[in-house]
Amino acid sequence: MCGRYAASRTTDELVEQLEIEADHTAPPTSGAGGAEGAPPRWVPQYNVTPSQEVPVALTRVPRGRADGGEGEGGAADPATDGTAPVRQLRLLRWGLVPSWAKDPKVGMRMTNARAETLLTKPAFRRAARSRRCLVPADGWYEWQTSPVATDAKGKPRKQPFYMRRGDGAGLAFAGLYEFFKDPGAAEGDDPWLVTFAIVTGPAEPGLDRIHDRQPVVLDPDRWAAWLDPAEQDPDVVAGLLRPDRPGRFEAHPVGRAVGNSRSEGPHLVEPVGMQELEGVVDPATGEILGA
């Protein structure tokens, strides 16, 4: 947890929602070495999976380079010229690769970072102090293990659920990002890889009937402090991850198509009918649904 989520908003919508000052998700123009009229680098998706590049908001002090001086190319960045921290929207790969890793494949095992050990675990503690980000989403998926029903192989049946805000507003997961210089990069390729992980915490009452963990969703009043690279007090950082008021989210069972990473489309988040449920626990009441 969290291993799948939906992110259907366009970059223009994310710029407005997250109060972004500099959008770096668009393809380069012909004047910067790219093709004029090139298709967007981000296409909204309903089934985001680890290893994909997705929009992430972060705040950095520009240093005359697109990466703030720590990798990610090194192209001039006139849009963020200056010394004040700038809130940016960038495309980062999901699955954090620590700077000291020997192989970038380690990122597939670090898609999530537990809030309880964020500031002490070697893979995350440096990023937790000064490289925090927001991961925009519509909602996330989780699989509930049935306490009564089994599948054709005799194993507990698993039912996918979709969680979202009850008011329909977009989400912002707490995240961390890190720079990794790949020693195995081919000559001429950019060796810098910028990756992120989603912070998770204990599931709130109700959602814990689906899974015992959930992403840490930060409301707007915590965004500025979470993104501020100058805020490195571990107590403050930990405080920003404290559980928020319960009841912000709703959940409903969805079709099994979401389990296929190649499945895509808004139908993935639509509720399934009662006739498709078997041994499913209602997260609101605890009642067993389906024969």
Of 19, 142, 204, 276, the catalytic one is 142
Residue 262 Cα distances to 110, 256, 259, angstroms: 21, 12, 9
Class of residue 202 by CB neighbours under 10 A (exposed 0-12, middle 13-18, buried 19+): middle
Q: Whole-angstrom Cα distance, residue 32 to residue 27?
A: 10
Question: 174 near 241, Cβ under 8 Å?
Answer: yes
Q: Does residue 2 have an active-site annotation? A: yes
Q: Does residue 116 have an active-site annotation? A: no
Give residue for tokens 């929009």.
Answer: 55
Distance of CA 215 to the CA centre of its chain: 8
Of 2, 72, 133, 178, the catalytic one is 2
Backbone Cα Rg of the chain? 20
Residues with catalytic roles: 2, 142
